[in-house]
Structures are given as structure tokens and as C-alpha cells.
């Protein structure tokens, strides 16, 4: 399926280059005065939403269904489709007759059998739009006919949704009217969403913040869905690709979500108009920001002390040779939810995990056989078996999420001012300190909150990817007991995950030679260098660099050849804000590039 040869990659890359060139030219054209759109065009939200819902999501979803039905499904059944024959071969024996006659169920009858050999006619059917559920037994991916059905249905829904907002015709909703009318009857939210339409519409930073938040959540969801419900054939068996995709999408999601709060804070500094937002939800949020921040604070403290307390207790008793004294809490509520959905391992015997339940008997002939087989199989990532180690690490991740959110929310809500510095908004988004006259004003700009939150975000994504990777390599090796036994105390993570799995990297090259993993070993070392360089900027601040530069300038002026190059102004060091940015970029880049070779080499070293 998909791109199989270098020639496929070559032609695909050329095609994308042509498309990119056309789009770049289009961008340049729309910068010319005669083709430049006016400001009102960018503020016409209803038209944009209609076009994005119908055109971007609706038409593209149906177009993807077309590709699946006309190309991918026939290929999976051994029938090659190319430019030479795609107009001659009907994807279904009955053609369009069932569509026009209303006999749509014909397209779902005769699906591929459980014994279908992917890419051949053996065990293949003729159905193109199905609702089988579960996975293809051989490829361990979702049924292509299920995916086609999903995209067709969702495409139709999006096209209908594209008629929701009022444009040139009188039908549909006006976003401004919706927002202005949204006042909860209790009166506890004051003016509700009144004034919000103009506030959002007049602030690019607010719009960018909302877009980044939405895209960040979706990207994290993609990371989860790509392994839990793999849609690409055989990707479930390509472990290195799976772990790389998960890690890649989670880090991107982290940066997008942190960026959302950064631009939200810039909105409060630059674009927020108190007069336009009197007593609405934005004003109310700013009025009781102390309650929001203090609640997040106690939740973070509770999670931190209890989670770390359990880990440390378990470390101590294990170190003293009494691992049986560990405090191990089973995630019973999550296990119950899994049991309700059909996982029989926990013995809850309820709903789909009970063979006599009405839920089981009602759906047994429709979609349950494939689903129950998949959810109880040890070969996929649909519903992972969970225990005390999972319970602890989920709460550690929750700690990271809440602390990151606390820092970002505080930075945004205090961006306009605080009791310590009521006129903060006049200093802009980023400032180092307000001099010795007002002590304690260092590190309180909205930029400083973003700066600190990025470290916590990287921490959180680190814990998330550590957990995902260790859990999955244990499952793939058929050795889940190692994760279950070692993940309940910190030394287990350091020793049995980080240290043991770094051996392929450490042996990428040695005195006896090198192997195919050596490139990852060198990347691992180089990334540590980038990461360590970050601390040089984060720890040594302006005065140190200024004195260093003065020494370099002195040496420069007294060196015959170097003295040929002169400068107009005396060189000065980075400001505190600039040095923090340079340090943060090096730290974040080094951090991610250190984990990348570790995760790739440790997985490749085990599974090839």
C-alpha cells in the first residue's frame, strides 16, 4: 500500500514541489496591491467557516473516500490501479446502480473475510463501505472499507455543517448574535459572551492562541490514535515507526499548546479592551484570577507530594530489600471502564466483558466478534492492560500537566498587572526587571512564565514518552512483567528503562568497531552537547558576558590582523531576556534530539 518504491517517492516529491511552487506564487500574487484582500475579507468569519467546513473538511474527506474506494481497496485485494486503468475498473461489481436505486446496503455486503491475505485476492470480498469494527487479522490495521465508510459519512456531515453560518443569504447563524445572546440565566457569568466576537475578531494574537490550542490538542490526539487504532496497513508491526511517530507528535503538541498561552498573554497585554468586555466571561476571569491560580496551585501541590511520596516510599522499601512493602494502588475505576468495553482480564464480568450481558448478546452478530477479539488480544495497543505502575505514572503526568498549566495561566492572567506591579501591561510582554526602585519585579513578565512553562512542558512530554515507550517495548517483547514490577519506583525507571535500553546506543561504536546504530550514538552525544550549551546561557547572565566581551574587544584591538576590522558601536552582551531565549532554545533542542536517537536505537536494536 502507498509508496513502495524509490520511483514512487521521486514522483510524489516532484508533484509536491510543483504544488508548493503554485502556492508560493499564489501567496506572492496576493501581496500585490491589485490582488491584495482587504481587512474586511479576513474578518468575514461566517464565510471562512462555511468554506473550511464544507470545502476543507467535507470535500477533502469525500475525496479521500474516493481514493480509498477507487485505489487503496482494490490494491489491498490484488488489483493494481494506475493512471492507465483507473477509469476502466469499477470499484464495486454493481457500479453506481445501488447508489441511485437506494440499495446502499449492497456496498456493505460481502466484506473481506478474516482469512484475507492483504494485497491478494485470497479471502477478499467486494464490499467498499462497511462497519466491521476491530482490525484486519493480518495487517493489524483498521479495515480499509471501515475507513472509507467513516470518511464518506463525516464528509457528508461537514458539507451539511458548511451551511450553518449566515453569509449573503438570510439562512443560518450569525456568530456575533450567538455570542451576544449567550448569557446563562443564573446570571453568575454576568454579561456572558457579550463583546467576545469583536474582541476575538480584532486580535490576531487571540485568534492565533485559539488556533494553536485546538491544533495542539488534535496533534496529541493523533499521537494516541495512530498507535491505538492504526489505519496504515502493517504499521502496527513496525515498532520503530510507531514509537517515532508517537514521540514526534507529542512534542509538537506540547509546543503548540504552550504557544497558545503565550499568544493569549500577548493578547491581554496588547489587544484587550476593558471597555468592550465589561462584565463578560473574559472580565470575570480576570476578576477572580486569584481563585483560579490558587486552585491550580493546591491541585499541583497535592499531586506532586502524593505521587512523589509514593514513588520515594517504594524506592526506600525496595532499596532495603522489602519490595513487598511497596504501596501499590490498582486503577480500579479505569479497569472497570475497560471491562465495560469488553476487556475480560480483570474479572469484573460486566456489560461487554460478560458473555450473558444484554450488551453482548444485542451486538454479537453485528460488530462485536472483531471488537472483542481485538480488545482482548495482546498483539495490539487498543486497550492496554493497566496496573499500579500505570496508576503512578498517570498521576506523575497529571502533575506535569497541572504545573505547566498553572505557570501559563498565571502568566496570562497576571500579564496586565498584579498587586506587586499594577502597571505591568505598560512594560509589554517581556521585560527583565523594573530596576532597583521596585524590588521583586524580576521574572514576572508574561514571557518569563512562558520560559518557565516550556521546561515543565518538556518534562511532562518526557514522562509521557518514557511511559509509552517502556510500556510498549515490554508488550512487544512479551515481557510486560518487567514494566509492571519496575515502574512502581524511581530506580526502576532509571535502571530498567533508561540504563538497560541505552546499551544499543553505548555499543553503536566501541574499540572493536561500529555498527548500523553508530550514527544514532553520535547524534546522542552531539545532542547532549547542544543541551549542555543551553546551561551556559541559562546560568551565566548579562554581567558575565559583558565582561567577557570587553576582554575579547581588548584583545581584538591589540591584534594586528583583527584590528583591520573595526566596529562603530562598542559590542554589548545579550540582555537577560535574550540570553534566556538562547538558553531555552539550546536546552529544548538538545533535550528532544537526545531522546530521539535513544528511542530509535533502543527500539531498532531490539526489533530491527
- pLDDT tens figures, 524-539: 999 999 999 999 888 8
Judged by average pLDDT, the poorest of 380-389, 390-399, 559-568 is 559-568
Pairing of strands 509-510, 513-514: antiparallel
Q: Which residue has the cell 548500523?
A: 516
Pairwise CA distance, residues 602 & 608, whole Å: 10
* Closest to 223 in 3D by CA, of 420, 381, 103: 381
The stretch 456-481 carries a mean pLDDT of 95
CA atoms within 13 A on the CB side of 386: 23
pLDDT digits (tens, 9 = 90+) for 197-242: 999 999 999 999 999 999 999 999 999 999 999 999 999 999 999 9
Percent of the chain at pLDDT exceeding 70 = 98
Q: Which residue has the cell 553503536?
A: 508
What local confidence, expressed as pLDDT, does residue 439 receive? Answer: 66
What local confidence, expressed as pLDDT, does residue 11 receive? Answer: 93
Q: Is the dihedral of CA 462, 464, 470, 473 positive or negative?
A: negative
Q: Is the dihedral of CA 479, 485, 490, 491 positive or negative?
A: negative
* Closest to 15 in 3D by CA, of 99, 98, 112, 83: 83
* Closest to 476 in 3D by CA, of 184, 241, 145: 241
pLDDT digits (tens, 9 = 90+) for 142-197: 999 999 999 999 999 999 999 999 998 888 999 999 999 999 888 888 899 999 99
Residue 76 has pLDDT above 80, yes or no: yes
Pairwise CA distance, residues 575 & 510, whole Å: 43
Tell me the pLDDT band of 434, cut-offs 50, 70 and 90. low
Tell me the pLDDT band of 546, cut-offs 50, 70 and 90. confident
Pairwise CA distance, residues 378 & 133, whole Å: 17
Tell me the pLDDT of the chain averaged across its residues.
Answer: 93
CA angle (130 as vertex; 125, 134 as ends), nearest 5: 95
Residue 481 has pLDDT above 80, yes or no: yes
DSSP 60-127: HHHHHHHHIIIIIHHHHTT----TTTTTT--SSTTTTHHHHHT-GGGGTSS---TT--TTSSTT----
Answer whether 46's CB lies under 8 Å from 163's CB. no
Domain range annotation of the chain: 1-36, 44-112+123-173, 204-271+288-331+386-472+486-501, 332-381, 514-607
Answer whether 226's CB lies under 8 Å from 246's CB. yes
Tell me the pLDDT band of 367, cut-offs 50, 70 and 90. low
Pairwise CA distance, residues 601 & 518, whole Å: 9
* Closest to 408 in 3D by CA, of 454, 449, 457, 460: 449
Pairwise CA distance, residues 607 & 605, whole Å: 6
Pairwise CA distance, residues 65 & 72, whole Å: 10
Tell me the pLDDT band of 499, cut-offs 50, 70 and 90. very high
CA atoms within 13 A on the CB side of 211: 8
Q: Which region, left, alpha or beta, applies to residue 336 given φ > 0 means left and ψ of -120 to 50 means alpha?
A: alpha
Q: How many CB atoms lie within 10 A of CB 411?
A: 25
Residue of 191 and 364 predicted with greater confidence: 191
Amino acid at each position: 500500500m502507498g509508496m513502495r518504491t524509490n520511483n514512487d517517492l521521486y514522483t510524489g516529491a516532484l508533484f509536491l514541489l510543483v504544488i508548493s511552487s503554485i502556492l508560493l506564487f499564489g501567496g506572492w500574487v496576493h501581496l500585490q496591491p491589485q490582488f491584495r484582500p482587504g481587512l474586511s475579507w479576513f474578518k468575514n468569519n461566517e464565510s471562512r467557516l462555511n468554506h473550511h467546513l464544507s470545502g476543507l473538511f467535507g470535500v477533502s474527506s469525500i475525496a479521500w473516500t474516493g481514493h480509498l474506494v477507487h485505489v487503496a481497496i482494490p490494491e489491498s485485494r490484488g488489483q493494481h490501479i494506475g493512471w492507465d486503468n483507473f477509469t476502466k475498473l469499477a470499484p464495486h461489481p454493481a457500479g453506481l446502480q445501488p447508489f441511485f436505486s437506494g440499495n446502499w446496503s449492497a456496498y456493505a455486503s460481502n466484506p473481506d473475510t478474516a482469512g484475507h491475505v492483504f494485497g491478494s485476492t485470497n479471502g477478499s470480498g467486494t464490499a467498499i463501505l462497511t462497519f466491521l469494527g476491530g482490525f484486519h487479522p493480518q495487517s493489524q490495521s483498521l479495515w480499509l472499507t471501515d475507513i472509507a465508510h467513516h470518511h464518506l459519512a463525516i464528509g457528508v456531515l461537514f458539507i451539511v455543517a458548511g451551511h450553518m453560518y449566515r453569509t449573503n443569504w438570510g439562512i443560518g447563524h450569525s456568530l456575533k448574535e450567538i455570542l451576544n445572546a449567550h448569557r446563562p440565566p443564573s446570571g453568575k457569568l454576568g454579561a456572558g459572551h457579550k463583546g467576545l466576537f469583536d474582541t476575538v475578531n480584532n486580535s490576531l494574537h487571540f485568534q492565533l492562541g485559539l488556533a494553536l490550542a485546538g491544533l495542539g490538542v488534535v496533534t496529541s490526539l493523533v499521537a494516541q490514535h495512530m498507535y491505538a487504532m492504526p489505519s496504515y496497513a502493517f504499521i502496527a508491526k513496525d515498532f520503530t515507526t510507531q514509537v517515532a511517530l508517537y514521540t514526534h507528535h507529542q512534542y509538537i503538541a506540547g509546543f503548540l499548546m504552550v504557544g497558545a498561552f503565550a499568544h493569549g498573554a500577548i493578547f491581554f497585554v496588547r489587544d484587550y479592551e476593558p471597555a468592550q468586555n465589561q462584565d463578560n466571561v473574559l472580565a470575570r476571569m480576570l476578576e477572580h484570577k486569584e481563585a483560579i491560580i490558587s486552585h491550580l496551585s493546591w491541585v499541583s501541590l497535592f499531586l506532586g507530594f502524593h505521587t512523589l511520596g509514593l514513588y520515594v516510599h517504594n524506592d526506600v522499601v525496595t532499596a532495603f530489600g522489602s519490595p513487598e512493602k511497596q504501596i501499590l494502588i490498582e486503577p480500579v475505576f479505569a479497569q472497570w471502564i475497560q471491562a465495560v468495553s469488553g476487556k475480560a482480564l480483570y474479572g469484573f464480568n460486566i456489560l461487554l466483558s460478560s458473555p450473558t450481558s444484554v450488551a453482548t448478546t444485542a451486538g454479537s452478530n453485528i460488530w462485536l466478534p472483531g471488537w472483542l477479539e481485538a480488545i482482548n488480544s495482546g498483539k495490539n495497543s487498543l486497550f492496554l492492560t493497566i496496573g499500579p505502575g500505570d496508576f503512578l505514572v498517570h498521576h506523575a503526568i497529571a502533575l506535569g500537566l497541572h504545573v505547566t498549566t498553572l505557570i501559563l495561566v498565571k502568566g496570562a492572567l497576571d500579564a496586565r498587572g498584579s498587586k506587586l506591579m499594577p502597571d505591568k501591561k505598560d512594560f509589554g510582554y517581556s521585560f527583565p526587571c523594573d530596576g532597583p526602585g521596585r524590588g521583586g519585579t524580576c521574572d514576572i513578565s508574561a514571557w518569563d512564565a512562558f520560559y518557565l512553562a516550556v521546561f515543565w512542558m518538556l518534562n511532562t512530554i518526557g514522562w509521557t514518552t518514557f511511559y509509552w515507550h517502556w510500556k510498549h517495548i515490554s508488550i512487544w517483547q512479551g515481557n510486560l512483567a518487567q514494566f509492571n514490577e519496575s515502574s512502581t519506583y524511581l530506580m526502576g525507571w532509571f535502571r530498567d528503562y533508561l540504563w538497560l535500553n541505552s546499551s544499543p546506543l553505548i555499543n553503536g561504536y566501541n574499540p572493536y568497531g561500529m555498527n548500523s546504530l553508530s550514527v544514532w550514538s553520535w547524534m546522542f552525544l552531539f545532542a547532549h552537547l547542544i543541551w549542555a550549551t543551553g546551561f551556559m546561557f541559562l546560568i551565566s547572565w548579562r554581567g558575565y558576558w559583558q565582561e567577557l566581551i570587553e576582554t575579547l574587544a581588548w584583545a581584538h584591538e591589540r591584534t594586528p590582523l583583527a584590528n583591520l576590522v573595526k566596529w562603530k558601536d562598542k559590542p554589548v552582551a545579550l540582555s537577560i531576556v535574550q540570553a534566556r531565549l538562547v538558553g531555552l532554545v539550546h536546552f529544548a533542542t538538545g533535550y528532544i534530539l537526545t531522546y530521539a536517537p535513544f528511542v530509535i536505537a533502543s527500539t531498532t536494536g531490539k526489533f530491527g
